[in-house]
Each structure stands twice: as structure tokens, then as C-alpha cells.
Structure 1
């Protein structure tokens, strides 16, 4: 059995030329080009896929190779998984697989195996060697996946560690990403092939995948799993956000980035200072870019659109909507440019690296985890602190003072995400979610007012339009401002004295 360690990066087709001209690749020890035909086999009901096993036949020239891969550890584009390879001679042979469960599964379904999908692509391979003697295979794959009469393109780089340390893998990736717009990709060709076969390759907005954290696990392990879940959430909505046809993709990316920010804050006492600072500095730019674009979406779709729908003949309102629409497009174009830039690709790359090995100075993750409390004790302590902070801020909040409401919204959001990370059975999370939604809407309305007034400076005749929009939303504003105080008081009463963890 071998162990495959690779880092997968996706890139646009217009970046291929820049990649092959990169000094790291032009100075490689050797370069090879080949065309690969790959057929993936499974049963009609996808028994192998359900068990996390992939069976592939690869044609390379006149030679056929049988490969079996199992699900392993995947972290935002970095994957470490077991695999078994051997020459294929007209029949499948699973006798060399030393994992008894995998071998038994394959033997039991061998007679039912059929081709499910193909991946056909041209591969250019560069052999890279570091000063320390590490050997890395860098490949550029260009082609397509075909299944069930449909196809989808392949355009990706794989960095496979042939010999040496994972650190070298990230160093090579960073050197490439510094000049070329590439982003780590958590989705393998096999996963995309199965989605295409199941007629689900079409991109749809992805919500957060819940992570189960055991109370007795180490907090650093919990931090890693939580952050990787946030990264996966961010990455899986990126393609849809770039297309721009559905604002929900951007919304989900913003939620993912906010959750990642909340995770960094919740687990901050565990992290080395330099690790926290590096993670936080990169995330700040992501939050800013996504937040600005999302604010324009909210302004257009939730603040202006319903008013315009009720007043379709209001010419000044339509003119305001056109101006906001133009500004929204400009800001969205800036967001797309950022997401397709080397800066964003390196942010993802550095975040994945730091999350997988957060301890600097050569200290391993296992060494850094020594002499620390289990998750249940750590979470109880942190949740108690967040509750106390929320209670203090709630006492200072004033419905007529937007800055105090903003401070309250931030505390509610941080506690809400913390309880998503480490579920507490006794805290009233539904009331907390309701508070977050209400405070969020007030914040959206406040931001909308400032953005609309900025347009009035360019065209003073639109001042009445701002008043018209405000009056339309006034009934809902009155209801929310009336309810917030009661909901906050109810939540604080229910949480008083609750600090347990089970």
C-alpha cells in the first residue's frame, strides 16, 4: 500500500501559459507530456462510492494501470489517502490490497462493476527537487470529465509529494501562487465525476456542513476541524459567486468567512500569537471584500427591490435603483477580481497550511497539544465569558443609539457561532438566532441609509427617494425595535446561571 500526499489547485484556462513559463517550472529537472484516459468503475448503485472507495483504470500509451484509492484526510485541497496500484491485465486483481475490509468489498461486488465515468486529459509533469532533496511532481491537467452524456472541463494543477516533507509541498505551491491566480480545490476529479454521473454537477449554493466535536477531544483538534469546515464552506461557493447569477453564493461565502473569524476568536487562547496574527490578517481582507459586495446585494434585493415592486411607476425610485445597480456591478467586479487574484489563492493556501500545523518553530501539533484541558472544559470557560460579555453589552444597548446596537449584534453573532461549534444543550439557541436576525436587519437598514445618502450627494434630487424607502420599511422597523428588548431580556433570563456542559 502506498500513501498519496497531494495538493490540488484549480486555475482558469487563460492562466496555463503563465504557469508553464513560471521560473520554477522552466528550471525543473525534467518535463514530460502525456495523454491519459481514465475509467472509473462502480456498481450501478455506486456501492464503492458509498464506502469511500474509488476504482480506476488508467491508460498511459499502451499500458493500463489499476488503482484503488480510499477516502483519507482532506483539508481544503491537501489530501492524504491510501492507494494501491498494479498493472492491469484484462481482469481486475484485488489480491494485493492489504486492507481486509476494502479487499472484501471489492471481491464481493467485482461481478457487478461497470464503467461510471471517464476523465480524459493532457498532462504535463515537471520533476522538482528542493535543496533538501525533497522530490515533488508538479502536473498540469487539461481536458474533460464525461458521464451520462454530459461533460465538464478539467483545468487544475496537482502537486504530489514523492519524497520529503509536506512543508516543501506548500513552499512550491506558494511560489506558484505568488505569480499565478490559482486556488486550492477540495473537490477531486473522481468526486466531480460522480456528481456528473448523478446529474448533480450543476453548481448550487452550499450551506455549512455540521461538524461533530466530542466533549473529550482536544480543543486544538476541535479548532482544526471547525476551521476546515469553514474553509470547505467558503471554497464550495466560490464558483457560483464568480458566476454572479445568484446572490446566495456570495451570502454563503460571507457566512463562511464570518464563521472562520468567530472560530479564530473562540479558540484564540490556544493559538501561538504569530499564528493567530497571520490567520487574522489574511482573513480581514476577505471579510472586507465579501462584506462590501454582500452589502450591495442586500441594499438592492432586500431594501430597494420590494419598494420598487410596490411603486413600479416611481421614476425617481427607478433612477435610484439604476444608480445602485451600476455601483453594485462595479463592486461585484472588484470582488471577482480579488477572488481570481494570486492574493486570494495565497490566503487560502496559507490558511490551510497553518490550520494543519499551527505550531511555529518546528513544534509539532501533537507536542503543542500536551498539557491542555479537554474541549468540554475549554468550551464551558469560553461560553461563560461570551455570555457575560453579551450581558454587559445588552445592558448598555439603546434602541436609539446605532453604535450600541452594532456592538450588541457583534456579541450575539460571536456567541451564536460559538454555540454552533460547541453545541450547548441548555442554552436557548433559537432565541439567540432570532436576536441575531433582528439585529442584523437593523444593521442592514442602517448601512442602506448611509449608502443611499451617499448617492444623494451625487444627485440631490433623489433625497425624497431615500425618505420614501425609509417610510416603506418603517412598520417593520417599529416592530423589530419593540421586540428586540423583550427577546434580549428573555434570553438573558433563561441563560442566567447556566454554565454547564455535557
Structure 2
């Protein structure tokens, strides 16, 4: 099947008031013109029973406009720059022939497709420019239904599209729309439907795993890894602003860490100036999220287990209330950066950077992966030398090396045999987790002593003693576990060799 040229898209999600503000804005009317009357559109989104297409970063939908004689098939692929195509159709059912011999995806040609969501939309089309320079704006509002109509959600979005050579103009247009009415940036238009169908709407977004099989270039691998990190960061803004603030903060912080780790891993091949600028922006975001997450960890890991044993202890309850107040103050400092307008602008910076060429040179992906993993493994082993004599600071440094190695292995593991990579990752993850628990206890000792020194309340002092004593016993058990975890990790084969 022949595809028309790929057309990159930027998708902005609004609330109902913001969408109305955008539609009626004189500024929008001034920079664009109507391209026909408003019409109705039916979008049916398809995948396998286990969402096999989505797991490969592929979106497939049939789009039927009321004025059109036939439907169009819309295909998107996250592994391809600007990977969004409109395909001709021979009938009214989705056709998988477009996959052809498309690398690892060709195995999905016989996938049994089922509709997982239907969108009923009212659409107003606008355009700016002419001919090859045309920018298209599709203002879409309506409902998404999934699960045989049992799950419903409203949708208000603007889908901006253009020819690839007009990408920068498309980004500028998106910035103008966000300035008119704040919005959330999403990296693909099926995201809301997918989350609704999977029962994840409104929940914090974990890192999505996608393999690199079928990708041969270093630039292609980095682009996909970066895109997944940006997606995780962007998807958790609404959770932090809503009710899932604890998990939302955690998952956004993980997304920031994964993206920063990816930049460090690929840094020798990245264009220096853009990578440095993006790293600085991510560091600023991390500095706002980190203190909030640290308080969450302290409450969940240090205070809550003891409070569960002594639920009516006034001192421990006082400690928890005190740290809850600290968290609220820290979150209040972070929230201005997470307002829709500045945050969407940052996400556009990240998307623009990832889509328009981040590498300064190419290379064989397999060779790069082996070399990069070997380098990180050597640094990890060096940090763990004389393991039994390491003090808490040295163990913390070892944990940081372990987390960097884990991220690198997670990014690149699908290039190597699965059994060996799984054993290595399981041993490394266990080591990092145990080191993390010990570090939490070490940090808690300092924090509790500082809090005891600032407060003369006898019940609080008593509570601090209980918390310290309980975790001292836990630390003794963890000391035995961490030695075994290190020994087990040292026995693992290098899966990239």
C-alpha cells in the first residue's frame, strides 16, 4: 500500500473553558482562516486484544467525515520521525497491508484487530499559509467512548499538522495557541482514548517500555528513548495538579531522571549546545520535584510503617503532620513551573529538540550499545570495590552508579538476548533497591535528629526514638541483604558481550 508523505502533528489538549476561549479568540481568527464549515467526524481506533500495536508505538484509526465518501486510515509510528500518515482505503475495514516488510512490525500483519475506542467529534478546520507552506489546525471537541460505551470522557483538542519542512513553523503556531489558551501537550492523539480503554485515565503514568529491535541507527534509538521520557514527563502534569499528587510527582521525576540519563548515555554523539540547554531545563525541573518526592519517601518508608504499629502515638502523628506541612510548602514552590502555559512551552522545547536532529554523528547502534554498557559497568564495579568497607556516602555513590547502569540497560537491553539481560537487570535492580532502603534510613537519621533539635515537645522526642529504633533493626537486616545482593550482581554475565 502506498503512503502519502508523512505529516508531523502536534496535539494540544484543553479543558472546556479553554477550548471555547481558543475558538472565539480574535488572535486565532487573525492568524488563520476557515477552510469550510464545521462538520462531524467519527474516529474508530483499533488495536489487538492485548494492545500489541500500542506496545510497539503504533496507532491505527479509521476516520470518517460526514462530507467524505470514504473513510481514511490514519497510521502513526513513534519509531519514525514525524511518523504520521494518511492512507488510502479500499473498504470500510482497517487494512494491515501498510506494514509491508517494516522490520520488527511485519510480524503484526496478521494481528486480529478490534475497535477499542470511538470518538464522536465536532470539527472546525482552519489553515494558515498556502500551498506547501500550509499549516492545518483542526479544532476537535466531543466524546470518547470505550468498553462498549461504558467508559466515557470529553475531549477538547487542537491537532496541528504540516509538511515536515514546516515543523518549526508548526511549533511556533503551537506556542501561539498555548499563549491564547493554556493547554497540555500530548505526543499522540490516541493517548486519551488508549488510557480510557485501558482503565488508566487520570492515573499517574509509568515509564513505557518499547524495544529498539528494527532500529539500526544511534539517532533513531536516542530519538525514541527521548520521546518516551518526554511522554512520561508530560503525562503526569495533570496528576500533580489533580488528586494523584504523590504518584504523579514520583513518575514525573522518574521521567526526568530517565531523560537526563539518556542524554548522559548518548552525550558523546549529541549536538553539544542543544543537549546542554535541555539538560539545564531538566535539572531545574528536577530541583523542584526532588524535595517534594524526598518528603513523600520519608513519610511512606520511614514514618508510615511505625505509625501502623503505633497508630495513636501523638509524637509520630505530630512528626507526620509537620512533614505534611513541609510538603505542601515545597509543592507550592513547584506548582508555578507546572502551570499549563509554562509547562507546555517546556514540553514543546523537548519535543522540538527530539524531533529535529539531536545527534552530531551517526554510528552502528549495536557497537555503540556494547561500548556504552561496558563503560558504565566498569564504573559501577569500580565504585563497589572493597564493598564491605564502604561508608554510607560511598554506598550512595555506588547506588547512583547502579541506577545509571540500570537505566542504560533498560534502554538498550532489547538489542541483546533476553534471558541474559533479564537476569542481569533483576540482580542490578535488587541491589539498587536494597542500597536505596539503606540510604533512606541513613538520611532519616539526620533528618530526625535535626527535627528533634528544633522542637522541645516530649511526645515528638519519644516518637523520634521509636522511629529510629524500629529502623535500626530494619537496617541490620538490610545489611545482610545488601552483601548478598552485591555478591549476586557480581556473578552476572555481561549480556552485551
Which TM-score tier does this pair reach, normalised by the shorter chain? Answer: 0.7 to 0.9
3-state SS of 1:71 partner: strand
CA contact (8 A) 1:7 1:79 kept: no
SS in 2 for 1:428: helix
Q: Paired residue for 2:128?
A: 128
- Answer yes or no: is 1:436 the counterpart of 2:423: no
TM-score between both structures, scaled by the size of structure 2 = 0.79
Counterpart Cα distance in 2 of 1:76 and 1:183: 23
Q: Distance in 2 between matches of 1:43 and 1:273?
A: 40
Q: Which residue of 1 aligns with 2:344?
A: 345
Aligned positions of 1:87-102 closer than 5 A: none
In structure 1, the gaps of 5 or more residues are 87-91, 102-107, 360-364
**TM-score relative to the length of structure 1:** 0.78
Distance 1:13 1:406, change over 3 A: farther
**1:22-171 correspondence runs (5 A):** 25=28, 27-31=30-34, 35-40=38-43, 53-59=60-66, 63-64=67-68, 66-74=70-78, 80-84=84-88, 117-121=118-122, 123=123, 125-129=125-129, 134-146=133-145, 148-161=149-162, 164-171=165-172
Report 1:123-272 matches (<5 A).
Answer: 123=123, 125-129=125-129, 134-146=133-145, 148-161=149-162, 164-177=165-178, 181-188=182-189, 192-193=192-193, 196=196, 198=197, 200=199, 202-214=201-213, 217-245=216-244, 247-272=246-271
Deviation of the 1:258 alpha carbon: 1.6
Equivalent residue of 1:321, what SS?
helix
| C-alpha distance 399-100 of structure 1, shift in aligned 2 (>3 A) | closer
CA distance in 2, matches of 1:482, 1:47: 41
Distance apart, 1:402 and its partner CA: 3.0
Contact 1:177 1:345 in 2 (8 A): yes
Match of 1:385 in 2: 375
Match of 2:397 in 1: 407
Distance 1:38 1:455, change over 3 A: farther
With over 3 angstroms needed to count, the CA separation of the structure-2 counterparts of 1:49 and 1:19, relative to structure 1, is same
Q: In the alignment, does 2:11 pair up with 1:8?
A: yes
CA contact (8 A) 1:41 1:56 kept: yes
8 Å Cα contact 2:47/2:60 also seen in 1: no
Q: Is the 8 A contact 1:218 1:375 kept in 2?
A: yes
- 8 Å contact from structure 2 (residues 9, 159) kept in 1: yes
Separation in structure 2 between the aligned mates of residue 215 and residue 118 of structure 1, nearest angstrom: 32
In structure 2, the partner of 1:470 is 468
Indicate conservation of the 8 Å contact 1:438/1:480, yes or no. Answer: yes
Tell me how far apart the structure 2 counterparts of residues 278 and 450 of structure 1 sit (CA, whole Å): 35
Q: Is the 1:57–1:66 Cα contact (8 Å) retained in structure 2?
A: yes
CA distance in 2, matches of 1:55, 1:332: 42
1:483: Cα distance to partner? 3.4
Structure 2: 5+ residue stretches without partners: 101-109
Which residue of structure 2 aligns with residue 105 of structure 1? none
Separation in 1, partners of 2:213, 2:45: 34
Question: Are residues 1:501 and 2:466 paired?
Answer: no
- Structure with the bigger percentage of strand: 1
CA shift digits 1:44-88 (9 cap, x unpaired): 9989997954223223xxx355432232234899652224489xx
Matches within 5 A, 1:296-375: 296-359=295-358, 368-370=360-362, 372=363, 374-375=364-365
Aligned-pair Cα RMSD in Å? 4.2
Residue 405 of structure 1, CA deviation: 2.1
- Partner of 1:165, secondary structure, is helix
Kindly state the Cα deviation for residue 265 of structure 1 after the two structures are TM-superposed: 1.0
Change (3 A) 1:15 1:44: closer
Comparing 481-490 and 434-443, the one that deviates more: 481-490
Q: Does residue 460 of structure 1 match 2:464?
A: no
Which is further off, 331-340 or 384-393?
331-340
CA distance in 2 between partners of 1:96 and 1:416 (Å): 39
After TM superposition, give the deviation of residue 269 of structure 1 in Å: 0.7
How far apart, in 2, do the equivalents of 1:170 and 1:74 lie? 18
Shift of 1:98: 10
